[in-house]
């Protein structure tokens, strides 16, 4: 019997490239871990649309493509962390391991480098989903 909450968790996937968004979604899967609810994906291709969607306050986890154009995912992450109240945790997908320092600057909560390892992506998203669930539990 599953102990996962019934409501799906919304995962925003930001990239200007539809193939990249599809690869990220495939790596995460419908349920990245048995103890978590299913995932509902929100695909977004532009920075203004990310800001608009985050302002709704219904996103649980955000995954950003550092190579997105014209607004890179790390800049989008930094803006969200600076401007969005209760910003969801963010997984940054970077092209080069050496870009890890940029991910730190962006205040990403987790980082995975290309080529995508589906296990690493699913594990990172699952950890961020658990963090989000924990953040929303009432204090005892």
| Confidence grade of residue 140 (pLDDT, cut at 50, 70, 90) | very low
* 9-117: CATH number: 3.40.50.2300
Q: How high is the pLDDT of residue 136? A: 56
- Give me the half-sphere count of Cα atoms (radius 13 Å) on the Cβ side of residue 73: 31
Structure-derived torsion over alpha carbons of residues 8, 9, 15, 17, reported in degrees to the nearest 10: -20
Cα of 23 vs its chain's centroid, Å: 13
Structure-derived torsion over alpha carbons of residues 40, 93, 20, 79, reported in degrees to the nearest 10: 70
d(CA 93, CA 113): 6
| Listed range (65-79, 80-94, 98-112, 123-137) with the worst mean pLDDT | 123-137
Question: Mean of the pLDDT values across residues 99-109?
Answer: 92
Q: Give tens-digit pLDDT for 23-63.
A: 999 999 999 999 999 999 999 999 999 999 999 999 999 99
Determine what percent of the chain is predicted with pLDDT higher than 70: 92
pTM over 0.75: yes
Helix axes 118-136, 18-28, angle to 10 degrees: 70
Determine what percent of the chain is predicted with pLDDT higher than 90: 84
Residues 6 or more apart whose Cβ sits within 8 Å of residue 12: 41, 42, 44, 50, 53, 54, 59, 61, 62, 63, 88
| Confidence grade of residue 139 (pLDDT, cut at 50, 70, 90) | very low
Q: How high is the pLDDT of residue 135? A: 59
| Confidence grade of residue 7 (pLDDT, cut at 50, 70, 90) | confident
Cα of 52 vs its chain's centroid, Å: 16
For tokens 């296990």, the residue is: 119
Q: How high is the pLDDT of residue 138? A: 45
Domain boundaries, the chain: 9-117
Stated length of the chain? 140
């Amino acid at each position: 019997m599953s102990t996962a909450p019934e409501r799906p968790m919304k995962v925003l996937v930001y990239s200007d490239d539809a193939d990249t968004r599809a690869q990220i979604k495939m790596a995460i899967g419908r349920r990245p871990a048995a103890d978590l609810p299913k995932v509902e994906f929100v695909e977004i291709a532009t920075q203004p649309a990310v800001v608009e969607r985050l302002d709704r306050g219904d996103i649980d986890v955000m995954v950003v493509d550092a190579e997105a154009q014209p607004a890179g995912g790390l800049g989008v992450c930094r803006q969200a962390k600076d401007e969005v109240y209760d910003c969801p945790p963010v997984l940054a997908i970077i092209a080069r391991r050496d870009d890890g320092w940029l991910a730190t600057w962006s205040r990403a909560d987790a980082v995975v480098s290309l080529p995508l390892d589906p296990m690493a992506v699913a594990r990172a998203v699952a950890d961020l989903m658990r963090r989000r669930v924990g953040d929303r539990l009432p204090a005892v």
